[in-house]
Amino acid sequence: MCYTKEGNCFTGVPDPVGLAQLADTLSLPGTVGRLGQVIDRWIYTACLCFGLDLAEQDRSTFRYSYSVYQVEYSRNLLFRDAAVMDRVFNAVLDRTRSRLDVATLRTLFGAKHRPHTGGEPSLNLATMIERPRYDLTIFKIHFGLLTVKAYTKGEHVLRFEAITHNTKALGCGRILDKFPDIVARLAGMLERFATIVDCVDVGFVPDGLLDTLPQPTQIGATRVGGIALDSPRIRAVLAAVLALAPGPPFTVADLAAKVHTMTGQTGYTVRQAAYDLRKLRGKDLVIKPARTHRYQIPADAARTIAALLALRDHVLAPILAGVRSPRRGRKPTTWTTLDRDYETLRIAMHTLFDHLGINTDTTAAAA
């Protein structure tokens, strides 16, 4: 069967199911033996032979042991039409840029290599969108020594990739016998990243949620308060947990640090973060696995949080602010589809407020 390959990526796959089954064998226990045989053949016949011939190697009983330090695991989505792939990926980037706290650290147009004056950013908690090549857009998130990213490769391939820069970060060991566990953990990490990106891209608010959010809840024997979206602190916490959702489980300190990074407020303490997490747990927006001090965001909860923040920050706030503002004069130079939607809603809201008897003229109301 003929497969088309471009670089390290298959771009033409006549049997995708068979190729996926072949790739899944990397996480099987038997893979370690075959991989060890390949390494032995290379080490003992192409490398060690320069110091000892085969007979001397047998007499010395010298053997190597192997460890795995860096692994990359990827999944590729193939598109027939390059224009469709660009529209899909760019739409996802536009909507998730703010929801996942994406900062544009570096954008290079028409340049293949990075400038020699600036190196790679440190491998701490960071998110970026960059263009190392004109036709390649990379959406990358760092979680310490772990990285997840999505990028276009060529004209028809959208790749999702999980990387461990040091297998110690996975907490499952690094000897060769642990290779299936390493691959399985990276596969789970990549699946969660793709799921969270999908949930953040398209939000959803269940019926009755807006009415029940402010109501208090019970966690065990402890009564905790509700969630008020009008509170800037709660909105900052929701934005922070959403930004932490694609990564591994996080601690209370991680949440406090993320809130500080996103808002610049130094007064938000670990104690306040712990209390806010209890409130989110009461609404099932955050879960805490038993006997751990780490928290996770379920996929459905990420979809709900994204929708709540979008409603508050991108629907209610701009529409109400637009209704109170005077009519626009000349249209700005950059006039996007969202700008047209907001202007249409702003004009329609004037009629609705007139029918409801709500005065939007602040000058006349003050008089």
| Residue-level pLDDT at 281 | 92
101 phi, psi to nearest 5 deg: 55, 50
Amino acid at 271: R
| Residue-level pLDDT at 361 | 65
| Residue-level pLDDT at 293 | 87
| Residue-level pLDDT at 82 | 80
227-263: pLDDT as tens digits:
988 888 999 999 889 888 877 888 999 999 989 988 8
Residue bearing tokens 């996007």: 336
| Residue-level pLDDT at 134 | 46
CA 158 vs CA 128, 161, 188, 287: distances in Å: 17, 10, 19, 31
3-state class (DSSP) for residue 292 = coil
- What DSSP character marks residue 26? G
| Spatial contact of 237 and 259, defined as CB atoms under 8 Å apart | yes
Note the pTM of the prediction, 2 decimals: 0.64
| Residue-level pLDDT at 64 | 78
| Domains in the chain: ranges and CATH | 4-201 (no CATH), 209-309 (1.10.10), 325-366 (no CATH)
Identify the segments of the chain with pLDDT beneath 50: 103-125, 132-134, 364-367
| Spatial contact of 285 and 182, defined as CB atoms under 8 Å apart | no
Alpha carbons 85 and 339: distance in angstroms, whole number:
24
| Residue-level pLDDT at 255 | 92
107-146: pLDDT as tens digits:
222 223 333 444 443 434 455 555 544 456 677 777 778 8
Alpha carbons 193 and 187: distance in angstroms, whole number:
10
The token duo for 72 is 């990359």
